[in-house]
Amino acid sequence: MRTILSQRLLRRPCAACRHGERLQPEEIARIGLDSRLELYRPTGCSECDFTGYSGRIGIHEALTVDDGIRAVLGGTASAIASAAVAGGTTFLYEQGRRLCMTGDTTVDEVVRVLGEAD
């Protein structure tokens, strides 16, 4: 095995109602982001059939099994994760966090698709 691929689709917030409700700090902390960020939850409107979402965006994670990974196979999950990051992998969860900060998805959506932060 040379590369392990994972992908998920996250719903995009509706452009018309994306800033419907400001999140509470504890909601933002659910995915490990700085709770002082100004993030929103869409409320739903006639443009999005009252779902709050319109369209999707893909996130992808590629873990190449290189010498750095082989050296830590059989070790702890955190050792493997560190080697993966060193090898250039950006994990799905980190991509979800980034998309929340750019307004391309929501904290609720990251939790729905990827679960709570560890």
Q: Which residues bind Zn ion (CB under 5 A)?
A: 14, 16-17, 45, 47-48
Nearer to Zn ion, 21 or 47 (CB): 47
Backbone dihedral angles phi then psi of residue 85, each to the nearest 5 degrees: -65, -40
- Between 10 and 33, name the residue whose CB sits nearer to Zn ion: 10
Shortest separation between residue 56's beta carbon and Zn ion, angstroms? 15
DSSP for residue 73? T
In contact, 105 and 40? CB cutoff 8 Å? no
Pick the closer one to Zn ion by CB: 17 or 33. Answer: 17
Distance (Å, whole) CA 29 – CA 41 = 14
The least distance separating Zn ion from the CB of residue 23, rounded to whole angstroms, comes to: 17
